[in-house]
Chains A and B, each alone.
Chain A
């Protein structure tokens, strides 16, 4: 996005709000708190819309794969059209991805947003599983400690 690479020469520019945007760039790791907000942002975007996941962390968790607060695969929660590898990806890679996405849109390949509508239940279930937990994940093993923790609260 910087002036040396200047994506605006392809007519790409940042927009202020999801309403005006076509492509959602998820730059890097996604923590649970962020995921929730990404979903709302994504749902507020008008169709057609595309998602560009940026960096390894969105593909498989990357360097944070074992963190308790970052998801490992963004595509489970919202449909991703194209991903860029690397942590951080080089600007050239991002530009290439954007152009590939443009080509995909022109050829009609990029239609992940339709998947979101079709498989809404699947995505919603995945989202709810991580965001609206009703029981502790490691609960059965550490039930005593868990009680202690809640009593502290």
Chain B
């Protein structure tokens, strides 16, 4: 148990020493990572393992201790995120081969804190790891571009906001329940909820606030698009696929059990107000993320908003408070990890080769980067939630749960968002890979092998989970059973819905699709043979485009792809001026961040933070 924490740190140290020597870095990196994965694998089922460091300090009557434990849900997240992180880090090493060599130690640290978050058993450890990750990402973002600093500061300020809110929440929780251990405090909170209603709700809300910030849920949906646009592509891959789930995990761990155990009054016989609150935020995130993603021109921003929408789906799954919805949400968390990693890896590959991230400046890359294209294609099919790939099963479960709970508005929002997802996903596909290849990119090549292999692994992963959902669902259901939920262990191939007679067999779906494909291919083969013509040979109403000064660059429809659609939303967006509102918030944050930055520059930051922390502690104690 402890070795998976020690090894990354030791490796990071060793890597930092041998950083110049490629022959050492690669084997060392891979071996230690594979060892960690192996160790994680063996940890499955051994839920009793726990390591605690006891202290004699007491805070508001709660004993302070640092505990790492192999809790089932944590394992579920930790294992899959570790696999994804390894793949991303391998890609990253290839990505940074020429420019910077010092990424390997940073990745080891990231792996360390990643595992730390998921295996933390008490709030204090959790908070420490959380903060470690926050600061690591701040530095990783600023590593990217020159102008990245501003956006990184924006992120930092939000992070700090979330952290302080979490800190207060944790302290409140400790004071209320007398324990900082996650399970114990959850149990305690349910006990004291009715007597200390206001404070309990405040604690839940403060924690939710922090988690929502991390997962970019509705009011805080701005940071991914800002950060991803400037951050280094390899690192934002990690952020968008793994880090954004850090808010999801504690919700599943703590909030859902607590709210599920409470007996709150139900509105319209369907759900209680916390469900509605969470659900509405999720629905708004899903819809707004979708609409905003549709209008982006920068591909990284587009997928940033797509992440926001996906977080919305997960939240909707939680909000349903139905076991199928809950499973679906957790399943979707892993699915989204895989598919977002695949998509962002391809984006990184495209940027690696072309240096462009504005979609309308790209086009036709399928002619030059076929494997990248294929990965991206599978990625967007998965992201759109279309059957033979992995995004479908989890979305389907969430929709099933929403329908069975008669949450009609949420179900409609979900359908709106996932149909809208076709729009932005297809736009990215068409603009980046399809269409005319501009002359500027006539002689680019496919990315090198170190970057191809991670992409291929991701492809296989998406297909595997899509066809055999048991790969994820089996561990998940086992973990949920271990935690105490009343679930059946999932079969390898099929998923169970919440409604009557709604078990679907995804392998069968895949086979049926294959059947359709065979029929279709027969028709294709029956047809007369075809002839490949160059991309310039296109219908132009009979005109010769070159005579009108039209080259491939000027023959691509990709800017303002959904203009009619946008015009529909323009008055609406103007009326509620949501953009303007958040832009002003953004400006305020920028102002704040400038202040904070000023403090840091003068070396007073640490003092200030410390004093704020102390002040809050004292205030907290005083209130209670």
Give A contacts to B, CB under 8 Å: 17-19, 36-38, 40-41, 44, 46
B280-311 interface (Cβ within 8 A of A): none
CA distance A44 to B540 in the complex (A): 10
Give the residue among B540, B542, B543 with the most A Cβ atoms within 10 A: B542
Which residue of chain A is the closest to B540 with respect to CB atoms?
A40
Q: Which of A18, A36, A38, A46 contacts B539 (CB 8 A)?
A: A18
Which residue of chain B is the closest to A40 with respect to CB atoms?
B542
CA distance A135 to B543 in the complex (A): 24
CA distance A51 to B540 in the complex (A): 20
Is there an interface contact between B539 and A44, defined as CB atoms closer than 8 Å?
Answer: yes
Is there an interface contact between A37 and B537, defined as CB atoms closer than 8 Å?
Answer: no
CA distance A36 to B537 in the complex (A): 15
Q: Which residues of B lie under 8 Å from residue A18 when comparing CB positions?
A: 539, 542
Is there an interface contact between A44 and B544, defined as CB atoms closer than 8 Å?
Answer: no
Interface 1/0s, chain B 529-550, versus A by CB < 8 A? Answer: 0010000010111111000000
CA distance A41 to B537 in the complex (A): 11
Give the residue among A36, A38, A40, A41 with the most B Cβ atoms within 10 A: A40
Q: Which residues of B lie under 8 Å from residue A36 when comparing CB positions?
A: 544
Is there an interface contact between B537 and A44, defined as CB atoms closer than 8 Å?
Answer: yes
Q: Which residues of A lie under 8 Å from residue B539 when comparing CB positions?
A: 17-19, 44
CA distance A19 to B543 in the complex (A): 14
Given contacts A36-B544, A44-B537, 6 further A-B contacts (CB under 8 A): A17-B539, A18-B539, A37-B541, A37-B542, A40-B540, A40-B542
Total A-B contacts with CB atoms under 8 angstroms apart? 17
CA distance A37 to B537 in the complex (A): 14
A–B Cβ pairs within 8 angstroms, 17 of them:
A17-B539, A18-B539, A18-B542, A19-B539, A36-B544, A37-B541, A37-B542, A37-B543, A38-B542, A40-B540, A40-B542, A40-B543, A40-B544, A41-B542, A44-B537, A44-B539, A46-B531
CA distance A38 to B543 in the complex (A): 9
Interface size class of B (residues with CB under 8 A): under 10
Could you tell me the distance in whole angstroms from the C-beta of B535 to the nearest C-beta in chain A?
14
Q: Which residues of B lie under 8 Å from residue A41 when comparing CB positions?
A: 542
Q: Which residues of A lie under 8 Å from residue B543 when comparing CB positions?
A: 37, 40
CA distance A87 to B537 in the complex (A): 34
Q: Which residues of A lie under 8 Å from residue B542 when comparing CB positions?
A: 18, 37-38, 40-41
Q: Which residues of A lie under 8 Å from residue B537 when comparing CB positions?
A: 44
Q: Which residues of A lie under 8 Å from residue B541 when comparing CB positions?
A: 37
Could you tell me the distance in whole angstroms from the C-beta of A82 to the nearest C-beta in chain B?
22
Q: Which residues of A lie under 8 Å from residue B531 when comparing CB positions?
A: 46
Which residue of chain B is the closest to A38 with respect to CB atoms?
B542
Which residue of chain A is the closest to B541 with respect to CB atoms?
A37
Q: Which residues of B lie under 8 Å from residue A38 when comparing CB positions?
A: 542
CA distance A109 to B540 in the complex (A): 31
The 9 nearest A-B residue pairs measured at CB: A37-B542, A17-B539, A41-B542, A40-B542, A40-B544, A19-B539, A37-B543, A18-B539, A44-B539
B518-564 interface (Cβ within 8 A of A): 531, 537, 539-544
CA distance A36 to B542 in the complex (A): 8
CA distance A52 to B321 in the complex (A): 69
Could you tell me the distance in whole angstroms from the C-beta of A42 to the nearest C-beta in chain B?
10
Which residue of chain A is the closest to B533 with respect to CB atoms?
A44
Which residue of chain B is the closest to A48 with respect to CB atoms?
B528
Interface 1/0s, chain B 582-605, versus A by CB < 8 A? Answer: 000000000000000000000000
Could you tell me the distance in whole angstroms from the C-beta of A19 to the nearest C-beta in chain B?
6
Q: Which residues of B lie under 8 Å from residue A19 when comparing CB positions?
A: 539
CA distance A46 to B467 in the complex (A): 40
Could you tell me the distance in whole angstroms from the C-beta of B159 to the nearest C-beta in chain A?
54
CA distance A17 to B539 in the complex (A): 7
Could you tell me the distance in whole angstroms from the C-beta of B540 to the nearest C-beta in chain A?
8
Interface 1/0s, chain B 24-56, versus A by CB < 8 A? Answer: 000000000000000000000000000000000
Give the residue among A19, A38, A44 with the most B Cβ atoms within 10 A: A44
Could you tell me the distance in whole angstroms from the C-beta of B541 to the nearest C-beta in chain A?
8
CA distance A137 to B543 in the complex (A): 25
B355-375 interface (Cβ within 8 A of A): none
Could you tell me the distance in whole angstroms from the C-beta of A132 to the nearest C-beta in chain B?
12
CA distance A41 to B540 in the complex (A): 9
CA distance A38 to B542 in the complex (A): 7
CA distance A40 to B540 in the complex (A): 9
Could you tell me the distance in whole angstroms from the C-beta of A84 to the nearest C-beta in chain B?
22
Which residue of chain B is the closest to A43 with respect to CB atoms?
B537
Which residue of chain B is the closest to A42 with respect to CB atoms?
B542
Could you tell me the distance in whole angstroms from the C-beta of B550 to the nearest C-beta in chain A?
14
Could you tell me the distance in whole angstroms from the C-beta of A113 to the nearest C-beta in chain B?
14
CA distance A19 to B538 in the complex (A): 9
Could you tell me the distance in whole angstroms from the C-beta of A83 to the nearest C-beta in chain B?
21
CA distance A46 to B539 in the complex (A): 12
Could you tell me the distance in whole angstroms from the C-beta of B148 to the nearest C-beta in chain A?
47
Could you tell me the distance in whole angstroms from the C-beta of B61 to the nearest C-beta in chain A?
79
Which residue of chain B is the closest to A16 with respect to CB atoms?
B539
CA distance A40 to B539 in the complex (A): 9
Q: Which residues of A lie under 8 Å from residue B544 when comparing CB positions?
A: 36, 40
CA distance A37 to B539 in the complex (A): 11
Q: Which residues of B lie under 8 Å from residue A40 when comparing CB positions?
A: 540, 542-544
Q: Which residues of B lie under 8 Å from residue A17 when comparing CB positions?
A: 539
CA distance A37 to B531 in the complex (A): 22
Which residue of chain A is the closest to B542 with respect to CB atoms?
A37
B2-40 interface (Cβ within 8 A of A): none
Could you tell me the distance in whole angstroms from the C-beta of A18 to the nearest C-beta in chain B?
7
CA distance A46 to B531 in the complex (A): 9
Could you tell me the distance in whole angstroms from the C-beta of B555 to the nearest C-beta in chain A?
15
CA distance A17 to B538 in the complex (A): 10
Which residue of chain A is the closest to B544 with respect to CB atoms?
A40
Could you tell me the distance in whole angstroms from the C-beta of A128 to the nearest C-beta in chain B?
14
Which residue of chain B is the closest to A17 with respect to CB atoms?
B539
Could you tell me the distance in whole angstroms from the C-beta of A28 to the nearest C-beta in chain B?
16
Could you tell me the distance in whole angstroms from the C-beta of A107 to the nearest C-beta in chain B?
20
CA distance A38 to B540 in the complex (A): 12
Which residue of chain B is the closest to A46 with respect to CB atoms?
B531
CA distance A19 to B537 in the complex (A): 11
Q: Which residues of B lie under 8 Å from residue A46 when comparing CB positions?
A: 531
CA distance A77 to B541 in the complex (A): 19
